[in-house]
A = this chain, B = another copy of it.
Amino acid sequence: MNTDILDVVKAKKGQLIKCRRDLHKHAEAAWTEFRTASIVAETLTRLGYQVSVGEEVIDAEVMMGVPSQQELISHQERAIAQGADPKWVGKMQGGKTGVMGVLHFAQPGPVVAFRFDMDANDVLEATLEEHRPYREGFASVNSGAMHACGHDGHTAIGLTLAEVLAEAKNELAGTVKFIFQPAEEGVRGAKAMVSRGIVDDVDYFVGLHLGIGLKKIGTMTCNTVGFLATTKLDAVYTGVPAHAGAAPETGQNALLAAATAAINLHAISRHSQGASRINVGVLQAGTGRNVIPDKAILKLETRGTTSEINEYMYKRALTILEAAAVMYHVKLTVAPMGGAANCTNTPELVARLEQVALKSNLFKSILPDGNIGGSEDCTYFMERVQQKGGQVAYLMVGTELAAGHHDSRFDFDEESLVTAALLLSQAAVELLSKN
């Protein structure tokens, strides 16, 4: 049967690339993927999937780093203006732009989930002739939003895979779940979907990314490692302003609280059990030169090679932030802005998918592992699946890049889209085949 699948996929190449370019052109950043998610939902519905969106798949209480209501509304309007079906957009109010499609095959079998992320970066896309999306007319028309991490490709692969499996419906067993996640950038979206329980019944869970660490077509690994557990948070100090010349002692200085916090945060002791990280990436404080600053915001993140180390960093960070508030008599509010776990793939599933990759003849080099070198909130899905007894694997498919991830000139070789779609189709057949 595999041969058939391969041909089916190859025949969809044009449509796959066209879809990716359409998404690229209408890039939508985290929690504003109204058009993208509407297209996904509409397509899955058309293919016969049971589709859930909005509150059904997103727990509003666990959403992190959500834009203001005003921004959300203006992006909803933009999405509709750019062709999104108002019916779907209406279900996604408040930024609840997640989509899940489920297809039960006739024969019983395992539940297999594929997860794809949909959001763009907060990047202004390059307007250079050498930048292909610009040259060929599919650069983002949404200023300040750009697919600079390949999620446009991921979504297009996901939709292609969904179509392939729908067409092969009669030859498969079990259940397939397609999870289209918003807000992976800033690791803000996965937790809200996990919280809805949508992967609690999953036996096999597969994640995928293009080109991180693997910069050549023909390379891949079924065993992506090095996920750093991370917590993102914003800390806001509120003090009391005062005239810096006339009555400085009556002020309560939020800037000095923030500065003291920043230095001491970076001085948190290293952890002997693995790597840790802390970064205060942004500090903004004060309004005028001659006013004791009454407002300060810190945007920071902690990381660790294990969730325990990240937790150690996060707790120490909270204590320091709070103590700095006490020190300067200012108020502190802390808001979670994102998070990801550390996770290790399940060796059995890795081995099984390596066999699939090997047999596929798609790759010159299948690496035993590859380091993602950062954080991915797909780990929250993976962690939950493993806790419930399922198996997980996060695949990396190599591709040449025009510029690094998150760069305004980022672009990838679209051949990798086909390769990835072929690989996943065969993986699906492996996991969902009738005995």
Contact = CB atoms under 8 A, between A and B. Distances in A.
Given A266-B269, A324-B327, A301 B290 contact: yes
Contacts of A278: 270
A393 B292 CA distance: 31
Number of this chain's copies in the assembly equals 4
A263 B284 CA distance: 15
A272 interface: yes
Contacts of A248: 269-272, 277, 279
Interface string A256-293: 10111011101101111101111111111111111111
A301 B300 CA distance: 28
Given A263-B260, A284-B284, A303-B245, A269 B255 contact: no
A245 B375 contact: yes
A86 to B, nearest CB: 33
B337 A329 contact: no
A186 interface: yes
B289 A301 contact: yes
Interface residues of A, number: 65
A132 B230 CA distance: 50
A228 interface: yes
Interface string A334-359: 00010000000000000000000000
Interface in A337-393: 337, 373-375
A244 interface: yes
Given A281-B293, A283-B286, A247 B272 contact: yes
Contacts of A300: 289
- Chain B CB count within 10 A is highest, among A301, A312, A327, for A327
A290 B279 contact: yes
A121 to B, nearest CB: 10
A45 to B, nearest CB: 36
B267 A374 contact: no
A111 B194 CA distance: 65
A296 B183 CA distance: 28
Contact of A264 (B246, B260, B273, B373): B260
A331 interface: no
Given A248-B279, A290-B279, A326 B337 contact: no
Contacts of A375: 245
A323 interface: yes
A266 B264 CA distance: 8
B282 A282 contact: no
A224 to B, nearest CB: 15
A127 interface: no
A5 interface: no
Contact of A267 (B263, B276, B285, B312): B263
Given A289-B301, A293-B281, A374 B246 contact: yes
Contacts of A284: 283-285
A319 B328 CA distance: 8
A299 interface: yes
Give the top 7 A-B pairs by smallest Cβ distance, nearest first. A323-B327, A244-B279, A266-B267, A259-B259, A282-B286, A281-B289, A323-B326
